Amino acid sequence: MTEDTKCLNPKSLTCYQFQTRLPELIGYEENLTAHPHLDQCPICGALLADLESISEAAHLLFPIAEPSEGVWEQIESAIEEEQGHLEPEDETE
């Protein structure tokens, strides 16, 4: 948290000041919903609730998926090619 934020009286923060500091506050304060600014500001409270809901919903996103079979075929082929480059050339040819 910046010195600037520490010096400000949380109750006197405007919405602009609160929102400007929100990225820092979210990582800093364990229970941001108890922030004094939110006692008097339902709009910032709603914003914070939305952001928390999005963050919580993120855990449910993008279930595990399966790559196509072609991926393994390409990996095998690339490995064979790489190993072919590493093998010494046949001097009889």
Partner 1 sequence: MSDPRLSAHSPETAPCLMAGEADSAAQADSSTSQDLPHPVCHPGEADLLARVRDGDHLAFAQIYSLHKRRIYSLCLRMVGNVSEAEDLTQEAFLQLHRKIATFRGDSAFSTWLHRLTINVVLMNLRKKGLSLLSMDEAMEPAPQGTPGRSFGALDLTLTGSIDRMALERAVKDLPAGYRIVFVLHDIEGYGHPEIASMLDCSIGNSKSQLHKARLKLRDALRSFSRKEARR
Contact positions toward partner 1, by CB under 8 A? 14-16, 19-20, 22-24, 26-30, 42-43, 46-47, 49-51, 53-55, 57-68, 70-72, 74-75, 78-79, 82
Rounded to a whole number of angstroms, the minimum distance from the CB of residue 89 to partner 1 is: 20
State the Cα–Cα distance between residues 1 and 19, nearest whole angstrom: 14
Rounded to a whole number of angstroms, the minimum distance from the CB of residue 5 to partner 1 is: 12
Rounded to a whole number of angstroms, the minimum distance from the CB of residue 7 to partner 1 is: 18
State the Cα–Cα distance between residues 35 and 25, nearest whole angstrom: 9
DSSP 33: G
Please say whether the beta carbons of 47 and 73 come within 8 A: no
